[in-house]
């Protein structure tokens, strides 16, 4: 492991020795660096530069804009190991997950390079003779990207790559818990802009450091056309109201409380692999983490036995060490959330099957490592309906498939979901209109690990918006409808005659 400041220097991330934001590593609680929170005046200047940059960038042809994103992908490839190492240091992910996150950003760049040549509208038949109707998509304006701590690189890239090919300028406000990884990803983009040349105006991509107050400055600014915010449902609710009041656009990626149904026709070995990574990956601190597990009663005992064996063999430790599979929680408040979640499950009649303890405290007194917990619950309780952003897995047996679906959908969140079954009717029902009510419904895989080719996002209190693939680029543009008359007459729609 390189020294943190050497790593930051290599990545081009500037720190301020006397800054007012201290960044600590969840690995051992040690300080990594200090940064300076942006003042209101600095944020106003940043927004003004983004607005001026947009005026120029929107006129650059979209395929040319795609070339910038291609160069960004190349810079990310060069810095992949360093950024991944920084993510592990700052977020606590195991190194393989950090590498996977940077790869997501690279994949997003590759996708958007091709997408830059396909920002197409449609031609519509007109009811009037010698007329044609055409829809076009145009650049939207400055985009503010407010990221959460757990994916400081990928989520920024999802939004920024889309925004850039769509002709928008961008401002990154990374989480105050992981600002260094976000800024390292931005620095890779700035290096690409330097190589791109004069077509990229100054202020096209910028970043500001801060917390809630700095985020509010972006959210309330009428010069920010789109706010993309990732985080808790509580945060998203306040952002949605503020942006709606000024008639801005928003993309919200909020809480997930994801479930798996393991049916009587399931392959249990397949289910086990999906369960373990889904529930303990990133120490349960993913919006797509598996939290609720509904098992057919005939499979329950056998699968629980396998889960307990797998959990007992988990290597918990320093995420930068190769043998570690589970790193630390991000900070002390996350550990308190874990403890409270354990107590809530016990209070509601849950039986703790394994885990639920703080570990490695002597080795890392200021790091919050826990053994992932598994509960068997008597039913789907109230505690299960509130997302606990930690590695707690609740198991509920079921007898009837309709009962499992009802419990699956009976939560406020609706991000990711999955079913493990070899039965075609169960699978088709799960992904049908009367099945999972989530934005993503997976079959024979877990809820985590979404690919950038499909639109990412969820329903209900997850926000209802989408990022990454498919046609998510439309969120970063505005649509116009053009009616074109190529005759010398002036026929009116609906056959109206006026003054003839």
Alpha carbon distance 329, 391 (integer Å): 9
Contacts of 59 (CB under 8 A, 6+ apart): none
Q: What is the DSSP string of 399-430?
A: SSHHHHHHHHH-SSEESEEEEE-S-HHHHHHH
The two three-digit tokens of residue 496, written as one number: 């109206």
The two three-digit tokens of residue 160, written as one number: 């920024």
Integer-rounded Cα Rg, in Å, for the chain is 24
The two three-digit tokens of residue 147, written as one number: 């990221």
CA angle, 75 then 81 then 84, to 5°: 100
Cβ–Cβ under 8 Å, residues 457 and 480:
no
Single out the residue of 176, 153, 162, 189 nearest to residue 12, CA to CA. Answer: 189
Tell me what percent of the chain is helix, strand and coil, each rounded to the nearest 5.
Answer: 40, 20, 40
Q: Is residue 253 among the annotated active site residues?
A: yes
Single out the residue of 159, 169, 158, 186 nearest to residue 79, CA to CA. Answer: 186
Alpha carbon distance 277, 289 (integer Å): 8
The two three-digit tokens of residue 226, written as one number: 């789109």
Which entry of 75, 97, 253, 467 is annotated as an active-site residue?
A: 253
Query: In 3-state terms, what secondary structure has residue 31?
Result: strand
403 CB neighbour count, 10 Å cutoff: 12
**Interhelix angle 268-280/300-312, nearest 10 degrees:** 50
Cβ–Cβ under 8 Å, residues 122 and 72:
no
Q: How far is CA 193 from CA 52, 116, 211, 221, in A?
A: 16, 17, 27, 26
321 CB neighbour count, 10 Å cutoff: 14
Q: What is the DSSP string of 472-491?
A: GGGGGEEEEEEEEE-SSS-P
Residues in the chain: 500
Residues designated as active site? 253
């Amino acid at each position: 492991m390189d020294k943190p400041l050497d790593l930051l220097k290599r990545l081009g991330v500037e720190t301020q020795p006397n800054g007012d934001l201290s960044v600590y590593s969840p690995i051992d609680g040690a300080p990594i660096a200090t940064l300076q929170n942006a003042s209101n005046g600095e944020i106003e200047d940043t927004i003004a530069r983004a607005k001026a940059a947009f005026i120029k960038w929107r006129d650059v042809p979209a395929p040319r804009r795609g070339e910038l994103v291609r160069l960004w992908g190349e810079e990310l490839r060069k810095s992949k190991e360093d950024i991944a190492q920084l993510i592990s240091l700052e977020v606590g992910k195991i190194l393989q997950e950090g590498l996977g996150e940077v790869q997501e950003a690279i994949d997003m760049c590759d996708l958007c390079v091709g997408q830059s040549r396909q920002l197409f509208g449609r031609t519509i038949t007109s009811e009037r003779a010698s007329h044609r109707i055409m829809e076009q998509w145009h650049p939207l304006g400055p985009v503010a990207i407010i990221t959460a701590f757990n994916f400081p690189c990928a989520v920024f890239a999802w939004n920024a790559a889309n925004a850039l090919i769509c002709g928008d300028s961008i401002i990154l406000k990374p989480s105050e818990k992981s600002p260094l990884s976000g800024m390292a990803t931005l620095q890779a983009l700035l290096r690409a802009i330097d190589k791109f040349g004069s077509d990229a105006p100054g202020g096209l991509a910028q970043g500001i450091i801060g917390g809630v107050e700095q985020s509010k400055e972006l959210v309330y600014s009428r010069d920010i056309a789109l706010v993309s915010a990732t985080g808790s449902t509580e945060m998203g609710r306040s952002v949605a109201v503020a942006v709606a009041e000024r008639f801005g656009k928003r993309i919200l990626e909020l809480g997930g409380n994801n479930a798996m149904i393991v049916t009587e026709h399931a392959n249990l070995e397949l289910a086990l692999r999906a369960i373990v990574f889904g529930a303990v990956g990133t120490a349960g601190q993913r919006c797509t983490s598996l939290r609720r597990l509904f098992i057919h009663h005939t499979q329950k005992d056998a699968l629980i036995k396998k889960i307990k064996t797998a959990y007992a063999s988990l290597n918990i430790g320093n995420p930068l060490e190769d043998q570690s599979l589970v790193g630390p929680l991000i900070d002390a408040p996350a550990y308190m959330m874990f403890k409270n979640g354990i107590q809530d499950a016990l209070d509601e009649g849950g039986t703790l099957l394994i885990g639920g303890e703080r570990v490695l405290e002597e080795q890392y007194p200021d790091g919050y490592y826990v053994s992932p917990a598994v509960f068997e619950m008597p039913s789907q309780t109230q505690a299960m309906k509130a997302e606990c952003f930690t590695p707690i897995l609740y198991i509920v047996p079921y007898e009837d498939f309709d009962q499992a679906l009802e419990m699956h959908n009976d939560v406020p969140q609706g991000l990711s979901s999955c079913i493990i079954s070899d039965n075609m009717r169960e699978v088709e029902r799960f992904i049908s209109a009367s099945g999972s009510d989530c934005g993503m419904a997976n079959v024979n895989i877990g809820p985590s690990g979404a690919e950038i080719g499909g639109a990412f996002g969820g329903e209900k209190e997850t926000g209802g918006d989408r990022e990454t693939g498919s046609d998510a680029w439309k969120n970063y543009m505005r649509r116009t409808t053009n009616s074109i008359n190529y005759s010398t007459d002036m026929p009116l729609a609906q056959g109206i005659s006026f003054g003839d």
